[in-house]
């Protein structure tokens, strides 16, 4: 099976390629702009994106919508993560949490696939905490401020290790299960 990963985010594309390699699904990366609706859930955004790309004639593709949900901020930035990353950045998020002891947070990822005109959806999440200071130069987005083990940020660990515990890795594993059921 061959799927086109459609994203303008190079970091996501690299993670998808690595994770799918292990599953025997070959993926190509293409960057095609499509309308991302503002909605209350990642699933709604992804379903609308799949429909929009299909309407443009795309098939056999995969898209992803992800977000960082911070406990003490009532789940913010959540579906607004992209806007917050562009405007406040990691330094702004750290400022919002300055002096806050509850630093629990969750990354969530929803992936949607078109397989010969059929929609396949899957989700994954990853619990962790927001560090006091940004650290590391790997990864992308919020990686330098998010940690699972409380010590090393996602930007400081190898990508294979991030994929094995991350929201995207979990969503890909769930998606692979759905694809296997479908192709049986
Ligand atoms: P979107 O899914 O591209 O809308 O992502 C929302 C925001 O969350 C963007 O600013 C991404 O950089 C960020 N983001 C999504 N996934 C990750 C991740 O795995 N690590 C760090 N930041 C992420």
Residue nearest to atom 17 of ligand 1 (CA): 141
Of 19-23, 34-38, 80-84, 148-152, the one with minimum mean pLDDT is: 19-23
Q: Is the pLDDT of residue 142 over 80?
A: yes
Region of 89 (left: φ > 0; alpha: ψ -120 to 50; beta: rest) is left
Domains and CATH numbers, the chain: 2-183 (3.90.950.10)
**What's the whole-number average pLDDT of the chain?**
95
- Alpha-carbon torsion (49, 54, 56, 62), positive or negative: positive
Give the per-residue SS3 of the chain.
Answer: CEEEEECCCHHHHHHHHHHHHCCCCEEEEECCCCCCCCCCCHHHHHHHHHHHHHHCCCCCEEEEEEEEEEHHHCCCEHHHHHHHHHHCHHHHHHHHCCCCCCCEEEEEEEEEEEECCEEEEEEEEEEEEECCCCCCCCCCCCHHHEECCCCCEHHHCCHHHHHHHCHHHHHHHHHHHHHHHHHC
Closest CA to 177 of 85, 99, 111: 111
Q: Is the pLDDT of residue 46 over 90?
A: yes
- Residue 70 pLDDT level (bands cut at 50, 70, 90): very high
- Residue 169 CA, distance from chain mean position: 9
Q: Is the pLDDT of residue 23 over 80?
A: no
pTM over the 0.85 mark: yes
- Residue 37 pLDDT level (bands cut at 50, 70, 90): very high
Average pLDDT on 163-170 reads 96
Average pLDDT on 104-111 reads 98
For residue 36, give the ligand 1 atom closest to its CA: 4
Q: Is the pLDDT of residue 110 over 90?
A: yes
- Residue 20 pLDDT level (bands cut at 50, 70, 90): confident
**162 Cβ below 6 A of ligand 1:** no
Q: Is the pLDDT of residue 183 over 80?
A: no
Pocket mutation for ligand 1, best pick of 37, 141, 147 (most atoms within 8 Å of C-beta): 141
Bridge partners (DSSP) of residue 112 are 63, 121
- Tell me the longest C-alpha to C-alpha distance in the chain: 52
- Alpha-carbon torsion (119, 47, 90, 148), positive or negative: negative
Identify the pLDDT of residue 39. Answer: 97
Pocket mutation for ligand 1, best pick of 36, 42, 81 (most atoms within 8 Å of C-beta): 81
């Amino acid at each position: 099976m061959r799927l086109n990963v459609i994203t303008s985010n190079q970091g996501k594309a690299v993670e998808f390629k690595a994770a799918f390699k292990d599953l025997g699904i070959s993926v190509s990366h293409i960057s095609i702009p499509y309308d991302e609706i503002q909605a209350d859930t990642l699933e709604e955004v992804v379903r609308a994106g799949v429909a929009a790309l299909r309407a443009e004639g795309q098939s056999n593709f995969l898209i992803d919508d992800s977000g960082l949900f911070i406990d003490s901020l009532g789940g913010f930035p959540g579906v607004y993560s992209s806007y917050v990353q562009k405007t406040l950045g990691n330094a702004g998020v750290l400022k919002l949490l300055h002096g806050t002891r509850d630093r629990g947070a969750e990354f969530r990822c929803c992936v949607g696939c078109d397989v010969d005109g059929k929609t396949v959806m899957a989700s994954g999440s990853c619990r962790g905490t927001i560090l006091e200071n940004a650290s590391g130069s790997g990864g992308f987005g919020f990686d330098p401020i998010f940690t699972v083990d409380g010590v090393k940020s996602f930007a400081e660990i190898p990508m294979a290790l991030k994929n094995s515990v991350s929201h995207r890795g979990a969503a890909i594993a769930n998606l692979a299960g759905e694809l296997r059921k479908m192709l049986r």
